[in-house]
Amino acid sequence: MLSACVVPTSLARAQRTSTANAKRIPHKDPTVATVVGFLVPGGGQFYTERYGKAAGVLGGTVAAIGVGVPASHNGQHSIATIAYVSAGLVWAYGWLTAGRDARLFNDQMLHTTIAPFLDRRNGRQLAGFSLSTP
Protein backbone atom coordinates (compact mmCIF):
# COMPACT_ATOMS: atom_id res chain seq x y z
CA MET A 1 0.00 0.00 0.00
CA LEU A 2 2.79 2.41 0.89
CA SER A 3 4.64 1.70 -2.36
CA ALA A 4 1.51 2.50 -4.33
CA CYS A 5 1.57 6.01 -2.85
CA VAL A 6 5.32 6.55 -3.20
CA VAL A 7 5.69 5.56 -6.88
CA PRO A 8 3.20 8.07 -8.34
CA THR A 9 4.65 10.96 -6.33
CA SER A 10 8.20 10.11 -7.36
CA LEU A 11 7.10 9.91 -11.01
CA ALA A 12 5.41 13.29 -10.75
CA ARG A 13 8.57 14.77 -9.18
CA ALA A 14 10.70 13.32 -12.00
CA GLN A 15 8.36 14.80 -14.62
CA ARG A 16 8.51 18.24 -12.98
CA THR A 17 12.30 18.07 -12.87
CA SER A 18 12.58 17.07 -16.53
CA THR A 19 10.11 19.78 -17.53
CA ALA A 20 11.99 22.41 -15.53
CA ASN A 21 15.30 21.34 -17.09
CA ALA A 22 13.88 21.27 -20.61
CA LYS A 23 15.49 23.69 -23.05
CA ARG A 24 13.13 26.45 -24.10
CA ILE A 25 13.05 27.32 -27.78
CA PRO A 26 13.78 31.04 -28.30
CA HIS A 27 10.83 32.99 -29.64
CA LYS A 28 10.73 36.48 -31.14
CA ASP A 29 7.44 38.39 -31.15
CA PRO A 30 6.73 39.95 -34.59
CA THR A 31 4.84 42.86 -33.00
CA VAL A 32 7.75 43.72 -30.72
CA ALA A 33 10.14 43.50 -33.67
CA THR A 34 7.98 45.89 -35.70
CA VAL A 35 7.65 48.42 -32.86
CA VAL A 36 11.40 48.35 -32.10
CA GLY A 37 12.12 48.69 -35.82
CA PHE A 38 9.79 51.69 -36.00
CA LEU A 39 11.51 53.40 -33.06
CA VAL A 40 15.13 52.67 -34.08
CA PRO A 41 16.37 52.08 -37.63
CA GLY A 42 17.44 48.43 -37.79
CA GLY A 43 16.24 47.79 -34.23
CA GLY A 44 13.76 45.12 -35.29
CA GLN A 45 16.50 43.25 -37.12
CA PHE A 46 18.83 43.48 -34.08
CA TYR A 47 15.97 42.05 -31.98
CA THR A 48 15.51 39.15 -34.40
CA GLU A 49 19.27 38.55 -34.55
CA ARG A 50 19.64 39.48 -38.23
CA TYR A 51 22.71 41.57 -37.56
CA GLY A 52 23.85 42.08 -41.17
CA LYS A 53 20.47 43.41 -42.24
CA ALA A 54 20.29 45.53 -39.09
CA ALA A 55 23.67 47.09 -39.83
CA GLY A 56 22.57 47.75 -43.41
CA VAL A 57 19.34 49.47 -42.39
CA LEU A 58 21.01 51.53 -39.67
CA GLY A 59 24.02 52.37 -41.85
CA GLY A 60 21.86 53.27 -44.85
CA THR A 61 19.66 55.55 -42.78
CA VAL A 62 22.62 57.28 -41.11
CA ALA A 63 24.48 57.64 -44.43
CA ALA A 64 21.47 59.19 -46.14
CA ILE A 65 21.00 61.65 -43.29
CA GLY A 66 24.74 62.31 -43.37
CA VAL A 67 24.41 63.35 -47.01
CA GLY A 68 21.22 65.35 -46.43
CA VAL A 69 22.35 67.57 -43.58
CA PRO A 70 25.38 69.13 -45.32
CA ALA A 71 23.43 69.43 -48.56
CA SER A 72 20.67 71.41 -46.84
CA HIS A 73 23.26 73.70 -45.18
CA ASN A 74 24.92 74.35 -48.55
CA GLY A 75 21.65 75.32 -50.20
CA GLN A 76 21.35 72.12 -52.26
CA HIS A 77 17.77 71.50 -51.26
CA SER A 78 16.96 68.99 -54.01
CA ILE A 79 19.85 66.74 -52.94
CA ALA A 80 18.84 67.12 -49.30
CA THR A 81 15.26 66.17 -50.13
CA ILE A 82 16.38 63.08 -52.04
CA ALA A 83 18.68 62.08 -49.17
CA TYR A 84 15.95 62.50 -46.51
CA VAL A 85 13.42 60.56 -48.59
CA SER A 86 16.03 57.82 -49.08
CA ALA A 87 16.65 57.70 -45.33
CA GLY A 88 12.92 57.40 -44.70
CA LEU A 89 12.55 54.63 -47.27
CA VAL A 90 15.45 52.61 -45.83
CA TRP A 91 14.07 53.04 -42.31
CA ALA A 92 10.57 52.08 -43.48
CA TYR A 93 11.95 48.99 -45.21
CA GLY A 94 13.54 47.98 -41.91
CA TRP A 95 10.44 48.28 -39.77
CA LEU A 96 8.09 46.89 -42.40
CA THR A 97 10.18 43.70 -42.72
CA ALA A 98 10.98 43.29 -39.00
CA GLY A 99 7.83 41.22 -38.32
CA ARG A 100 8.66 38.88 -41.20
CA ASP A 101 12.19 38.53 -39.86
CA ALA A 102 10.79 37.54 -36.45
CA ARG A 103 8.55 34.91 -38.03
CA LEU A 104 11.52 33.62 -40.04
CA PHE A 105 13.58 33.39 -36.84
CA ASN A 106 10.79 31.43 -35.13
CA ASP A 107 10.46 29.04 -38.09
CA GLN A 108 14.20 28.39 -38.07
CA MET A 109 14.19 27.68 -34.33
CA LEU A 110 11.35 25.18 -34.69
CA HIS A 111 12.92 23.34 -37.62
CA THR A 112 13.89 19.81 -36.65
CA THR A 113 15.36 17.08 -38.80
CA ILE A 114 15.26 13.32 -38.61
CA ALA A 115 18.15 11.58 -40.33
CA PRO A 116 19.19 7.92 -40.58
CA PHE A 117 22.62 6.93 -39.28
CA LEU A 118 25.03 3.98 -39.40
CA ASP A 119 27.72 3.67 -36.76
CA ARG A 120 30.23 1.05 -35.64
CA ARG A 121 30.96 0.92 -31.91
CA ASN A 122 32.75 -1.79 -29.94
CA GLY A 123 32.69 -4.08 -32.95
CA ARG A 124 28.92 -3.79 -33.39
CA GLN A 125 27.08 -2.14 -36.24
CA LEU A 126 24.40 0.32 -35.11
CA ALA A 127 21.66 1.74 -37.29
CA GLY A 128 18.86 4.10 -36.45
CA PHE A 129 17.50 7.61 -36.72
CA SER A 130 18.79 10.77 -35.12
CA LEU A 131 16.68 13.77 -34.22
CA SER A 132 18.40 17.14 -34.35
CA THR A 133 17.08 20.52 -33.33
CA PRO A 134 18.83 23.86 -33.63
3-state helix, strand, coil in the chain (%, to 5): 70, 15, 20
**Residue 114, Cβ neighbours under 10 Å: how many?**
8
Mention every residue, 6+ apart, whose C-beta is less than 8 A from residue 45.
37, 51, 53, 54, 57, 94, 97, 98, 101
Mean pLDDT of the region 13-18:
50
Mean pLDDT of the region 62-88:
94
- pLDDT for 88-110, tens place per residue? 999 999 999 999 999 998 888 77
Query: What is the spatial distance between Cα 32 and Cα 62, in angstroms, rounded to a whole number?
Result: 23
pTM here?
A: 0.65
The domain segmentation of the chain, as residue ranges, is 26-132
